[in-house]
């Protein structure tokens, strides 16, 4: 054991054995934006054995305010986030193996990785992927750390399959906010607070300190000085849950549950059809868009929303048309920026 981790080893709950254990573990970070870049840096400095990073996006100037791994040159070159992250993380600690995957965290990709990893951490920005991660975690018995942040509000929750309620169970008791960074913004301290909780939990799991795992869902608002901790117990866990209950079907891993895209020929438009498990409230979305200053027009059949040079048409069944692009990845990014 070298001197690099001496201060972490001096922390008695970790010690030499815990540090050895951390150095043997493989962690999957899904999403390398604000949460994922901070998580990846802390775990790299902590000496995790291997990090696999998955992200479909590239670095933009607007990321630099809160996504700490990236630089102006990364944004100028429009480097994929995982490539820019891998380069920076290698400069921090070359002992850590970094695997960078530019692409979608789809079901097939995640199922291929699940048997090889010791921990999965949420750095995403949408619940489509989070519910897939939740199912993957329980199908393959992999611990999963949920995290979310927007504005000055953040939340985090530790999921240990077969021991804690899953994300589905949690959200039926504690509904999430529907805001997005594109509608209400975000301040960097919110990100750091969420990732501090996530990485602390990660270090407990990776070092073998399972008894120290937090047994609460935490939410906070840094600006309003509010903090809430809700016990996650058997009262929340649903025996009939299709993800963690007695008869599991892992519904979000099915083809029908996945968001689908299709190009509309000759129209520079991508159609997005949400999963059957998602039914957006158009009324609530319109109110949120109007508060954010977007141009919103409605008729009995659909709603049109304009933001800068982007236009989305949403129908009553949740189907959306993203105008101005033929790129399904870019269209999904736009869609999630509107939907949350």
CATH number at residue 174: 3.40.50.720
Do 213 and 245 lie in one domain? The reply is: yes
Q: How many domains does the chain have?
A: 2
3-class DSSP state of 29: strand
3-class DSSP state of 315: strand
The burial of 273, by beta-carbon neighbours within 10 Å (0-12 exposed, 13-18 middle, 19 or more buried), is given as middle
By C-alpha distance, which of 146, 126, 119, 145 is closest to 56?
A: 126
Do 327 and 190 lie in one domain? The reply is: no
Instruction: State the catalytic residue, choosing from 181, 244, 265, 286.
Output: 181
Do 216 and 316 lie in one domain? The reply is: no
Do 236 and 267 lie in one domain? The reply is: no
In terms of DSSP bridges, do strands 50-55 and 26-30 run parallel, antiparallel, or are they unpaired? parallel
Do 29 and 167 lie in one domain? The reply is: yes
Whether 169 is catalytic is no
Do 22 and 83 lie in one domain? The reply is: yes
Domain boundary among 253, 279, 299: 253
Residue 27's beta-bridge partner residues? 51, 119
Q: How far apart (Å, rounded) are the C-alpha atoms in residues 244 and 168?
A: 9
What per-residue confidence (pLDDT) applies to 85? Answer: 97
Do 225 and 273 lie in one domain? The reply is: no
Domain boundary among 200, 222, 253: 253
Do 175 and 274 lie in one domain? The reply is: no
What per-residue confidence (pLDDT) applies to 338? Answer: 84
Domain boundary among 232, 253, 274: 253
**CATH number of the CATH domain containing 267:** 3.30.310.10
**333: how many CB neighbours lie within 10 A of its CB?**
16
pLDDT digits (tens, 9 = 90+) for 271-293: 888 876 556 677 878 888 888 88
3-class DSSP state of 248: coil
Do 101 and 146 lie in one domain? The reply is: yes
What per-residue confidence (pLDDT) applies to 135? Answer: 97
Do 249 and 267 lie in one domain? The reply is: no
Do 155 and 243 lie in one domain? The reply is: yes
Tokens of 191: 């990100």
CA–CA distance from 309 to each of 33, 108, 290, 305, 306 (Å)? 23, 34, 16, 11, 7
Q: How far apart (Å, rounded) are the C-alpha atoms in residues 339 and 56?
A: 18
Residues with pLDDT less than 70, the chain = 1-2, 175-180, 182-183, 256, 264-266, 276-280, 340
Q: How far apart (Å, rounded) are the C-alpha atoms in residues 322 and 181?
A: 19
Query: Domain range for residue 306?
Result: 259-339
Do 73 and 205 lie in one domain? The reply is: yes
CA 71, distance to chain mean position in Å, is: 22
């Amino acid at each position: 054991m070298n001197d690099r981790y001496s201060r972490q080893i001096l922390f008695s709950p970790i010690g030499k054995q815990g540090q050895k254990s951390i150095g043997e573990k493989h962690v999957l970070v899904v999403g390398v934006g604000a949460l994922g870049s901070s998580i990846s840096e802390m775990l790299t400095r902590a000496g995790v054995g291997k990090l696999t990073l998955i992200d479909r996006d590239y670095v933009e100037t607007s990321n630099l305010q809160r996504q700490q791994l990236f630089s102006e040159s990364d944004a100028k070159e429009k480097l994929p986030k995982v490539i820019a992250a891998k380069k920076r993380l290698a400069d921090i600690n070359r002992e850590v193996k970094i695997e960078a995957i530019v692409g979608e965290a789809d079901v097939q990709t995640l199922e291929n990785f699940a048997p090889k990893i010791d921990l999965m951490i949420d750095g995403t920005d949408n619940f489509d992927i989070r519910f897939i991660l939740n199912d993957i975690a329980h199908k393959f018995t992999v611990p999963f750390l949920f995290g979310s942040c927007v504005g000055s509000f953040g939340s985090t929750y530790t999921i240990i399959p077969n021991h804690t309620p899953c994300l589905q169970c949690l959200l039926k008791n504690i509904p999430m906010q529907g805001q997005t960074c594109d509608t209400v913004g975000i301040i960097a301290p919110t990100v750091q607070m969420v990732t501090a909780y996530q990485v602390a939990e990660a270090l407990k799991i990776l070092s073998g300190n399972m008894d120290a795992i937090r047994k609460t869902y935490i939410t906070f608002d840094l600006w309003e000085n509010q903090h809430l901790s809700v016990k996650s117990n058997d009262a929340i866990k649903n025996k009939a849950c299709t993800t963690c209950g007695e008869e599991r079907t892992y519904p979000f891993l099915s083809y029908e549950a996945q968001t689908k895209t299709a190009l509309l020929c000759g129209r520079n438009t991508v159609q997005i059809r949400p999963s059957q498990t998602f039914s957006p409230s158009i009324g609530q979305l319109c109110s949120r868009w109007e508060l954010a200053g977007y141009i919103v027009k409605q008729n009995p059949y659909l709603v049109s929303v304009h933001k800068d040079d982007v236009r989305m048409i949403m129908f009553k069944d949740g189907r959306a048309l993203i105008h101005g692009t033929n790129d399904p990845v870019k269209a999904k990014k736009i869609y999630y920026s509107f939907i949350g």
